[in-house]
Chains A and B, each alone.
Chain A
Amino acid sequence: MKKKKQIPAGGLDSDLSSTIHSQSEFFDHLIELIPSRFYISADDDSKPWYQGLSKAAKASLRLKTKENLKLARRNRFDPDAEPSSVAKLVQQREDGESPSKEIDLGDSEKKSVTYEELREKLRRKIEALKGNRGENRFDEKKMRNEWNKRSRDGEGEGSAREKRENVGEDNDDDGEEIIEYGKVKLGDEGEGRNSNKKRKMSKAQELEKAKKKKEVMKENPSVAEKETWKAAVSRAMGVKVHDDAKLIKGSMKREKKRKEKNAEKWKERVGTVEKMKEERQKKRRDNIVGRINDKKARKIAKREKKLMRPGFEGRKEGFITKE
């Protein structure tokens, strides 16, 4: 044994370092055998509260997890990729977190400083939108087309990068061969909608709005034209536009009548309930009284039965001769 513990010619240090190295390797190897999820805590902030989300959001989250699972499985079984180790994961985490943390700090500082600037920007934007209402529509339409084209996978069939490029060529500024497709539903749109839902206005408010619009349209013919086109376009898209004061008034009247009818029906119902109650109670009372009277009559009859001898008519009521 002593021979084995002989100090080699290189000196103590090299031997020690090599043993330390081998031991640390051994421990690393042991650690790698532990699955990483016991080791690295998952970021709970990244997952939003699942149960509180809308259906569309839940569906998209599910899709994402499925894809993540698939990806993870592929990476696991990929023979060419390096086998990932815990150390690598830890490093990835650190790299991922630190730059974002830096950004957060920077943003928070900037936010407080430029609040005024943001307000100014917003005001300017609102005014710009108000001014360019007519022109903007065309741009929005173009943007919508491009969006449709980019996300539309070749008319619903398999995604074709080549086709997209061809479409991009067509959408030139000369506007000669702009190709548009039918309506396409993207999965991500539903999440933003929930906050933008407009509240339904009451019919009285709609009536006021319609009247005002009509007045404005009478005075200003260009505005009238714009409004009619806007109404036609939104009607074609399926949005209900209430701009006819007569129709709104008609529907208000109908609603009022319906309400009155329902109120009457309710009153009738309450009345009938009362009546039925009364009837039943009366019936019960009558039956009870009747029973008592019956009992009495039976008793009298029983008493009188004894005196119904042949030749006699019952209890004597008085003397035969009048006194």
Chain B
Amino acid sequence: MARFRKNKRIPFVRPIGKKLPSSVDHVTGDKIPKSFVFSRGKLPGVLRQLQTDLRKLMLPYTALKLKEKKRNNIKDFLNVAGPMGVTHFLILSKTDSSPYLRVGRTPQGPTLTFKIHGYSLAADVIKAQLRPRCHKDLFQNPPLIVLSGFGTGEQHLKLTTIMFQNIFPAIDINTVKLASCQRIVLLSYNKDTKLIDFRHYSIRLQPVGVSRRVRKFVQNRQAPNLSGLQDVSEFLTRPGYGSESEVDDEAATVSLPTDLGRLNRASNKSAVKLQEIGPRMTLQLVRIEEGLCSGGIIFSEFGDKISSKAEKTENAGEQSEDDEEDNEQDDEEGEDQDDDDEEQDDED
């Protein structure tokens, strides 16, 4: 029997995962922001995991299986981003000191550079939990975002909030379905340490005031074992010890406007339970640049002299550090007092 071989030579087409959903939101009419998450330079395995975690976080409006090659520049990504309607780039990179995360807006938007002080992978977070839950369409809807502590009015914080608020699509109050709000991203800024905590939770609603037995029965729909009981009423009214988490304060309960599943009925109280999924990061805003990884620096946290070797790991298409220093000289603004040191250093 002849062996059939694939004699066709298929040219390498960069497969970009499943088809991205449409560019324009049907409901609001706005453009839906989409993102690319990729890395520059060689990353160790743990950081590659972090990259996949971030990609899952940004679902569904991101390329889950984006393949990048070593020779790709940011310009290549920009060229692809235009026709596909991609608006944000999340770039991971690593230097000797620590990994960095850059969040930038295409095509010429500002770039925020964050230094990652510490991170935990999603797999580790889930392993540490006693009962991890992952709903099957957990990643089919974009997450909500909550920013806390950013309101002090400083320019760079304002820009950070605006940037993050626009990474995820807007929610139309009139038409949003409760069932589609399943994830939430929390960013909280600590003024003293200037660190931003990044957390990612899944939202679960549990009816309040229903005894545990009844709730389990409705959830699992399994016939309970009534052999030891005299009467059904014993089953329903038996005072079982409630779980510790049942003692919720009023702040965490809401009354739903619509039904959500079999358990949570409209205008009944339900408790909102958050369970952590996804990566956990501690970020520090280091720099804000005017362009996409280029352009003048409009904010710099430290007066750190950025040496030409550190920070950026490689790549021809990228702006080298020398250019950056030149740009610093050109228009150096910043609200940090350490700018003086930086300017002294740069004026060689």
CB of A206 within 8 Å of the partner chain: no
- Minimal beta-carbon separation of B141 from chain A (angstroms): 11
Tell whether, in the assembled complex, residue B272 and residue A157 are in contact, meaning their CB atoms are under 8 Å apart: yes
**Chain A residues with Cβ under 8 A from B258's Cβ?**
158
Query: Which stretch in B118-126, B174-182, B209-217, B312-320 binds the other chain?
Result: B174-182
A174 CB to closest chain B CB (Å) equals: 10
- Which residues 279-300 in A have Cβ within 8 Å of B in the complex? none
Which among A179-187, A269-277, A309-317 touches the partner chain? A179-187
Knowing A184-B170, A185-B173, the reply to whether A235 touches B105 (Cβ < 8 A) is yes
Docked-complex contact A157 and B171, CB < 8 angstroms: no
Partner of B151, one of A175, A187, A224: A175
Q: How far is the CA of A178 from the CA of B256 in the complex (A)?
A: 25
Cβ-defined contact, A185 with B171, below 8 A: yes
Q: Is A185 touching B255 in the complex (CB atoms < 8 A)?
A: no
Whether B244 sits at the interface, judged by CB under 8 Å, is no
- A181 to B: closest C-beta gap in Å: 6
A22 within 8 A of B: no
Residues of A close to B184: CB separation below 8 A: 155
Evaluate contact between B171 and A160: CB separation under 8 angstroms. Answer: no
Chain B 137-173 interface mask (CB, 8 Å, partner A; 1/0): 0000000111111111101001101110110111111
**CB–CB B171/A183 < 8 A:** yes
- The answer to the question of B251 belonging to the interface, with a C-beta cut-off of 8 Å to chain A, is yes
Once the chains are docked, how many angstroms separate the CA of A166 from the CA of B250? 10
Contact B173 A236 (CB under 8 A): no
* Contact among A157, A158, A231, A233 with B162 in the assembled complex (CB-CB below 8 Å): A233
Chain B 55-80, CB-CB to A under 8 Å as 1, else 0, gives 00000000000000000000000000
Question: Distance (Å) between the CB of B209 and the closest chain A CB?
Answer: 16
Given contacts A156-B144, A158-B255, A180-B148, is CB(A232)–CB(B173) below 8 Å? no
Q: Say whether, besides A156-B144, A157-B256, A228 and B296 are in contact (CB < 8 Å).
A: yes
Complex CA–CA separation, A247 to B107 (angstroms): 12
Q: In the assembly, what is the distance between CA of A176 and CA of B189, in Å?
A: 10
| CB-contact partner of B290 in A151, A154, A158, A228, under 8 A | A228
Q: How far is the CA of A250 from the CA of B190 in the complex (A)?
A: 44
112-160 of chain A: CB within 8 A of chain B = 138, 141-142, 145, 151-160
The majority secondary structure among interface residues of chain A is: mixed
B51 adjacent to chain A (CB < 8 Å): no
Q: A163 at interface (Cβ–Cβ under 8 A)?
A: yes
Q: Is the CB of A152 within 8 A of B173?
A: yes
Q: Which of A157, A171, A175 contacts B153 (CB 8 A)?
A: A175
Q: Which residues of A contact B298 (CB under 8 A)?
A: 225, 228-229, 232
- Interface size, B (range): 35 or more
Known contacts A180-B146, A228-B290, A235-B105; A158/B254 CB under 8 A: yes
A204 at the A/B interface (Cβ < 8 Å)?
A: no
Interface residues of B in 216-255 (CB under 8 A from A): 250-251, 253-255
| Partner pick for B146 among A151, A155, A157, CB 8 A cutoff | A155
B159 touching A187 by the CB < 8 A rule? no
* A34 interfacial contact with B, CB 8 Å: no
CB-CB < 8 A to A171: which residues of B? 151
Within A196-217, the residues touching B (CB, 8 Å) are none
Q: Is the CB of A229 within 8 A of B149?
A: no
* Smallest beta-carbon distance B82→chain A, Å: 13
- The number of residue pairs between A and B whose CB atoms lie closer than 8 Å in the complex comes to 144
Which residue in A153, A179, A183, A233 is a CB contact (below 8 Å) of B158? A233
When chains A and B are docked, how far (Å) is the Cα of A235 from the Cα of B169? Answer: 16
Are A158 and B178 touching (Cβ within 8 A)? Answer: yes
- Residue B207 is within 8 A (CB to CB) of chain A in the complex: no
Flag whether B42 is at the interface (Cβ < 8 A): no
The answer to whether A233 touches B333 (Cβ under 8 A) is no
Do A155 and B170 have beta carbons less than 8 Å apart? no
Most B CB contacts (10 A, CB to CB) among A153, A183, A236 go to A236
Given contacts A158-B255, A180-B150, contact A236 B178 (CB under 8 A): no
A102 to B245, CA, bound (A): 60
Chain A residues within an 8 Å CB radius of B256:
157-158
Docked complex Cα distance between A185 and B175 (Å): 10
In whole angstroms, what is the CA distance A232 to B105 when docked?
10
Chain A residue numbers with a CB within 8 Å of B171 are 156, 182-185
Q: Which residues does chain A contribute within 8 Å of B161, judged by CB atoms?
A: 180
B333 touches A224 (CB 8 A): yes
Q: In the complex, A286 Cα to B148 Cα: how many Å?
A: 87
- Say yes or no: A183 contacts B149, CB within 8 Å: no
Q: Which residues of A contact B30 (CB under 8 A)?
A: 185
Q: List 23 A-B contacts (CB under 8 A).
A: A154-B254, A155-B146, A157-B181, A157-B254, A158-B257, A159-B254, A159-B257, A175-B153, A178-B148, A181-B144, A181-B146, A183-B165, A186-B173, A187-B174, A228-B331, A229-B155, A229-B159, A231-B290, A232-B110, A232-B298, A233-B162, A236-B105, A236-B159
Interface residues of B (CB under 8 A from A): 27-28, 30-31, 33, 87, 105, 108-110, 144-153, 155, 158-159, 161-163, 165-166, 168-174, 176, 178, 181, 184, 203, 205, 250-251, 253-258, 270, 272, 288, 290, 296, 298, 331, 333
Given A157-B181, A158-B255, A179-B146, 4 new contacts (CB under 8 A): A177-B148, A184-B173, A185-B27, A238-B31
Task: List residues of chain A with CB under 8 Å of any chain B CB.
Answer: 63, 138, 141-142, 145, 151-160, 162-163, 166, 171, 175-187, 221, 224-225, 228-229, 231-233, 235-238, 244, 247
